[in-house]
Amino acid sequence: MNDDMEDEDDDEEDNTGNNTEGVANLSRPTSLPIEPATEKEQNLITNVPTDPLPSFKDHINEISSLTLGETIHAISNLIPGLIITVTSNGEYLVTHHNHEGTVGLERLCEVYDNCAKRWLQAHTSLETNLPQGSLDTLVLSLYRFGDLVLNVGPASNETMELPDDCGH
């Protein structure tokens, strides 16, 4: 019987010892290695695109090599995101929120003019003719809006975005 009691005492001592050790372990500060987020993970958190925006100049050059219908469609899709800036020497620059860099308004209009010449030379469908006609108004609005920026810009030192009702 004494042997059994000793075993119980041993068990109690073991349990007490384990509990004390457990408490001691819990009271020690534990640190887990935390690795910094990768750049890609950080960008996902802050919603910053990981890829740089495509070049606006390259995009305009690509548009000029498209078929007539594709060119008309691409130009009309560009209009809503255009921002016009007039430099101190009167140069009209265009930027777009989906692209990096600037393009001279003359270059954009040159692509449009080439599109208009192809449109006149081609026997196009009514489906192609309608957007081309509406682009005439849009391109004219770009220059008129640029004139507005030129007149108002120096006073306000701001770039201006095309209004939603510019004819598109």
CB 111 within 8 A of CB 75: yes
The whole-number pLDDT of residue 21 equals 47
User: Which tens digit of pLDDT belongs to each residue from 14-56?
Assistant: 555 554 444 444 444 445 455 665 666 665 556 555 578 899 9
User: Which tens digit of pLDDT belongs to each residue from 78-136?
Assistant: 888 888 888 888 888 889 989 999 999 889 888 888 887 887 777 655 555 555 455 66
The whole-number pLDDT of residue 40 equals 61
* 48 vs 148, higher pLDDT: 148
The whole-number pLDDT of residue 6 equals 54
Least-confidence region, from 99-103, 117-121, 151-155, 157-161? 157-161
- pLDDT for residue 151 is more than 90: no
d(CA 114, CA 132): 12
Enumerate residues 6+ apart whose C-beta is below 8 A from 119. Answer: 68, 72, 128, 129, 132
Measured in whole angstroms, how far is the alpha carbon of residue 4 from the centre of its chain? 77
- In this structure, the strands spanning 160-161 and 103-104 are unpaired
- pLDDT for residue 60 is more than 90: yes
The whole-number pLDDT of residue 149 equals 60
CB 154 within 8 A of CB 120: no
Enumerate residues 6+ apart whose C-beta is below 8 A from 109. Answer: 139, 142, 143
d(CA 82, CA 161): 7
* 103 vs 1, higher pLDDT: 103
The whole-number pLDDT of residue 115 equals 81
d(CA 74, CA 64): 10
Residue among 85, 84, 77 at smallest CA distance from 135: 77
Measure the CA angle with vertex 153, ends 160 and 145; round to 5°: 50
Q: What are phi and psi of 42, to 5 degrees?
A: -60, -40
The whole-number pLDDT of residue 127 equals 54
Measured in whole angstroms, how far is the alpha carbon of residue 33 from the centre of its chain? 34
Residue type, 145: F
